[in-house]
Amino acid sequence: MIKKGILLLLLVGFVAIIGSLLINFTGSNELNPLARYYAENGPAEVGAANLVTAVVVTYRGFDTLGEVTILFIAAAIVGFFLKVMNADNGRPNKLRKTSEILETASTLLVPTIFMLGVYIFVNGHLTPGGGFQGGAVIATGVMMIILAQPTSRFNHKLISVLESVSGVGFVAMGILGLILASGFLNNAFLPLGKLGSLLSAGAIPIIYVFIGIKVGSELTGILDSLKENQNEI
């Protein structure tokens, strides 16, 4: 009884707090000072036509490095635990045959999906999307390969080499910015170019290619280690 009363009291408190926030909320027609700074100085300082990318990769580049690190640790933990349990191997994999439609469609769709992923991260500084989105799309293509041909195997060495090289490349770009320009992950050590062209925004395209490859190979690694562990108990 007392427990229920306390719960009710908590709920009423929540409603009071959130309700007062909701009632007093008024949408603002102008940007706050920080957003205005980004909108006014972003094109000149960073040179990226997509302002979200300018914030994500340059102004808040350190956050992106942290996110990539979190994803890396998650992929490493999944790989570690599934590999430890991966004791016996070579047992025949009894799988149902995949349908004709899926197999045929995957031969057409997989290259298209890969190309879309590469397009998304190469054009990250011009159009919506970027390294994370492109990498996730590439991993979706890998997922389709696994669905269509469950017996296919991936080259673990290639995946881990790609992941390491792109991670080191991302940090190296940051350090180059520290040495040649004003700060860590500053993109201005390469020419900014013309706003809106493919080779513009300094180092952002290079950084996004690294992030895209890294995210794609990490998600592929997670999928692959889950797949390899399916036929064991």
Partner 1 sequence: MSLILAIFLGVVILVLAVTAIYHKNTKVAIIATGAVGLFASVLYLLLAAPDVALTEASIGSGLSTIIFFYVLNKIRHSND
Residues that bind partner 1 (CB under 8 A): 52, 120, 128-130, 132-133, 136-137, 139-140, 143, 146-147, 219, 222-223, 226-227, 229-230, 232-233
Angstrom distances, CA of residue 197 to CA of 46, 122, 167, 222: 13, 12, 26, 35
Closer of 74 and 172 to partner 1 (Cβ): 74
* Residue 133 CB, nearest approach to partner 1 (Å): 4
Token pair for 215: 């995210």
CA atoms of 218 and 162, how far apart (whole Å)? 9
Provide, rounded to whole angstroms, the least separation between the CB of residue 102 and partner 1.
13
Nearer to partner 1, 185 or 218 (CB): 218
**Judged by CB, which is closer to partner 1: 145, or 162?**
145
Of the pair 117, 177, the CB lying nearest partner 1 is at: 117
Q: Provide, rounded to whole angstroms, the least separation between the CB of residue 91 and partner 1.
A: 12
* Cα gap 49→35, rounded to integer Å: 16
Distance of CA 127 to the CA centre of its chain: 16
The CA–CA distances, whole Å, from 158 to 122, 152, 190, 199 equal 21, 15, 30, 28
* Shortest Å, Cβ 216 to partner 1: 11
